[in-house]
Amino acid sequence: MEKPAILGGTPVRDNKIYYGRQWVSEEDIAAVSEVLRGPYITCGPKVTEAERKLESYTGAKHAVVVNSGTSALHCACIAAGVGEGDEVITTPITFAASANCALYCGAKPVFADIDPETYNIDPESIRKCITDKTKAVIAVDYTGQAVKADEIRAICDEFGLVFIEDAAHSIGTKYKGKYVGNIADMTCFSFHPVKTVTAGEGGAILTNDDDLYTKLVLAHAHGITHDEALMEDAPHEGEWYYEEISLGYNYRMTDFQAALLISQLGRIDEFVARRKEIVKRYDEAFANVPGIIIQKNIPESDTSRHLYVIRLDLDKLTCTRREFFDAMSAENVQCQIHYVPVYWFPYYRHLGYEKGLCPNAEEVYKGIMSIPLYPKMTDKDVEDTIHAVTKLATYYAK
């Protein structure tokens, strides 16, 4: 049996790899430089081009590009009419922004539990969380696997709720043959560097609804319009005139970031294919490793996986999750945990949330760990990661 590096054995590799990493090419850099040399570094033609590109890629009618995935979620809540006293249902196994966006609007996040095998929000649990204050559901495509959109849609229709999909992980995924972005009332993407395509920082909201689109455009740019049809004091006083007709923010993306996004979107098929290839290899490698549980694949989801999450079966191992994590770091495979249940954080605790709210989420959290997954990984990186996981699972087997 191989000795773990943390106990003095030889690490599976010499240099560290991380759970996620961007892939910026020379073409991407050239595209950004070109914009920086030109007249518009923000609010120029590249933002519009990126929006059209996201529409054609997903099949959605409208896209609004913004400066982060978090801003995208905030705009979606504003467009949904989420306000003081409302409730918004989401999952606890997500990045904090999926719930924070409800707080930004003065609403209360309500946490529905997850499916213990796919780790996505459980529609039956959503149903149980609904009250007469519920305004919207923010369902997260955790790790990139599409949520049960048909069931969530049916619940939203029954109770008059807005269906927002937090697709920060899932650009490139298809649900029942349709691209994510063209399914929920509004879909939010993130272009943070660890996500599937990057703009440095960035996000987008997609919708097929004209009214929501108008509200999203206003929300992301100061609530200001140049469209006479929307003005209250029209006919306007001159070409220079514009009106603020609602409260909005400055959530615009710069043109040079949009250029990076366009260039990255040009490579998305390649990124998605490589992610799928790595996931397939991992699934095969870990299928029969005692102590390692793999995430259940959702058959309706043709998934572009953003994260590969293994779950330690702690009853079958002599180590804790913490010890396994530290031992992986010593092997030079840097993992991460996605995510601490959002309502466990002190800020949420001080708002009155208590442990025990979502038992499945809390149980799953105890064992999960994201191992490296990004398109630039070499086959050797993939094999080293498999080696590290199986080495430690074997060493620590009961």
Ligand X SMILES: *Cc1c(COP(=O)(O)O)cnc(C)c1O
Chain residues that interact with ligand X, rule: CB under 6 A: 68-70, 94-95, 97-98, 140, 166, 168-169, 190, 192, 203
Please state the closest distance from residue 174 (CB atom) to ligand X, in A: 19
When the beta carbons of 125 and 196 are compared against ligand X, the nearer one is: 196
When the beta carbons of 70 and 370 are compared against ligand X, the nearer one is: 70
Cβ-based neighbours of 143, under 8 Å, separated by 6 or more: 119, 169, 295, 303, 305, 306, 307, 308, 309, 338
Q: Alpha helix (H) ranges present in 287-373? A: 321-330, 346-350, 359-367
Query: Any long-range contacts for 27-31 (C-beta under 8 Å, 24+ apart)?
Result: 27/263, 27/266, 28/260, 28/263, 28/264, 31/259, 31/260, 31/262, 31/263
When the beta carbons of 69 and 172 are compared against ligand X, the nearer one is: 69
When the beta carbons of 98 and 182 are compared against ligand X, the nearer one is: 98
Half-sphere exposure of 37 (CA within 13 A, CB side): 6
Tokens 């455009």 — which residue? 217
When the beta carbons of 23 and 159 are compared against ligand X, the nearer one is: 23
When the beta carbons of 4 and 203 are compared against ligand X, the nearer one is: 203
Please state the closest distance from residue 95 (CB atom) to ligand X, in A: 4
Q: Which residue is nearest to ligand X (CB)?
A: 69
Please state the closest distance from residue 328 (CB atom) to ligand X, in A: 21
When the beta carbons of 97 and 206 are compared against ligand X, the nearer one is: 97
Please state the closest distance from residue 261 (CB atom) to ligand X, in A: 12
Please state the closest distance from residue 193 (CB atom) to ligand X, in A: 9
Report the 10 Å Cβ neighbour count for 13. Answer: 18
Please state the closest distance from residue 129 (CB atom) to ligand X, in A: 19
Two tokens, residue 47: 């933002």
Q: Quick check: 92 and 62 in contact, CB under 8 A?
A: no
As beta bridge partners, residue 203 has: 66, 190
Instruction: Classify 398 as helix, strand or coil.
Output: coil
Please state the closest distance from residue 202 (CB atom) to ligand X, in A: 7
